[in-house]
Structure 1
Amino acid sequence: MENINKLFIKNMVCYRCKIVVGRIMKMNNIETNHIELGEVELTNPIDEQQLNLIKNELEEVGFELIDNKRSKLIEQVKTLIIQLIHQENSELKVNLSDYLSEKTNLDYKYISNLFSEMEGQTIEKYFIHQKIEKVKELMVYDELSLSEIAFQLNYSSVAHLSAQFKKITGLTPSVFKQLNKHNRKSIDKI
């Protein structure tokens, strides 16, 4: 029987997710060194019995333990993109392929092919969808102009942002803003 000291968790994409996972660990008397998006480092290894208990509790709240290397890599890529867009805006000026290669220590072509195979969409498409969700969020907050949003998310122009927004949502940014029903998706549904 193998002792486990690190867990990889699918659908763990926001700060609230980290809190929920932390509470599950605490309720089961499992100490953690740190909890990051998609990953929990345990202070002490757990056995298969504890792992199954945690697995069931995580599934009850919409999370899933990942146990193979390919799936772990895909979740790592998604987490890196989510963090890049939703938390590290200033880093958006880097080349995405270089950024992912550097962070995973893997060739981008390998990552890209695996992502497309397992997710049924390209990394670039996933990245664009995440950016559009961030645009929606910023528009709903109504604190920045479309021009400021375009700059913050490293779009070459407002026209480029608007074209991409319309292609993904079917609406122009101005029509989206006028609608009272803001059709935002949760990050893990993209």
Structure 2
Amino acid sequence: MKLYIKYMVSQRCKMLVKEELLKLGLRYVVLDLGMVELLEDITQEQHDQLKVNLLRSGLELLDDKKSILIDKIKNVIIEMVHYSDQLPKVNYSDFISEKLNYDYTYLSNIFSEVKGITIQQFIIIHKIERVKELLLYDELNLTEIAYQLHYSSVAHLSNQFKKVTGLSPSFFKQLKRKRKGNLENL
């Protein structure tokens, strides 16, 4: 039996879900971002208890098919952008469509209808969050970040970064240094 869980987007979330499953004596085969596959069916009482326990931790057990599909789309994108060393070489639309076994137009229409933004906008938002992370770690320069995240150029990355954050990547990096300097002077 598969259960889908909203807001389960990190390793910490996976650990939380694992703990809740253990408390209820539920055994699983697969525990992945946004999804857990149980060895056996669960009772309505176990389902309700799991739902309540997950809500306390900010997670939500999904029941309707649209919500489940939206969550799957989001998890594919989050995993692709944040947890993969290299982004796929194919178009994102092909990658998502292939990963979820649905026509991309169908996925795109449902996502836009429910979330109010396009899948492409969601990808851009997450790519910019990843750029921020990489800038803060200070391990890669902007050219390397642009290459790693498949931007056509540093200028393209910078323009998109500024459009989303209102700041240039270099100014964002300076803010980090200023904040660090201010903390050291306390």
* Shorter-chain TM-score range: over 0.9
Structure 2 Cα separation of the partners of residues 48 and 34 of structure 1 = 21
Counterpart of 2:73 in structure 1 is 77
Q: How do 1:166-185 and structure 2 match up within 5 A?
A: 166-180=162-176
Aligned to 2:60, which of 49, 64, 69?
64
Partner of 1:86: 82
Match of 2:148 among 152, 156, 161: 152
SS of match in other structure, 2:61: strand
Is the CA contact (8 Å cut-off) linking 1:89 and 1:153 kept in structure 2? no
CA distance in 2, matches of 1:125, 1:89: 21
Shift of 1:53: 0.2
Percent of aligned pairs with the same amino acid: 51
Q: 1:38 offset after TM fit, Å? A: 0.2
Give the counterpart of 2:26 among 30, 39, 46: 30
Q: What is the match of residue 14 of structure 1?
A: 10
Q: Is the 8 A contact 2:20 2:50 kept in 1?
A: yes
Equivalents in 1 of 2:2, 2:105: separation in Å?
A: 27
Which of 103, 111, 115 in structure 2 is aligned with 1:119?
Answer: 115
Q: Structure 2 stretches of 5 or more lacking a match?
A: 181-186
Counterpart AA for 2:100: T
Q: Indicate the SS of the match to 1:70.
A: helix
SS at the partner of 2:41?
strand
Q: Deviations over 1:124-183 (max 9, x none)?
A: 00000000000001111110001100000000111100000000000000111111369x
Q: Which residue number in structure 2 is paired with residue 131 of structure 1? A: 127
Q: Structure 1 residue runs of 4+, over 4 Å off?
A: none
Which amino acid in the other structure matches residue 131 of structure 1?
K
Q: Which has the larger radius of gyration?
A: 2
State the Cα RMSD in Å.
Answer: 1.3
Pairwise CA distance, 1:91: 3.4
Gaps of 5+ in 1: 183-190
Larger relative contact order (Cα-Cα within 8 Å, sequence gap ≥ 6): 1
Amino acid at match of 1:54: L
> Is the CA contact (8 Å cut-off) linking 1:85 and 1:92 kept in structure 2?
no
Q: Distance in 2 between matches of 1:12 and 1:61?
A: 10
Instruction: Calculate the TM-score normalised by the size of structure 1.
Output: 0.90
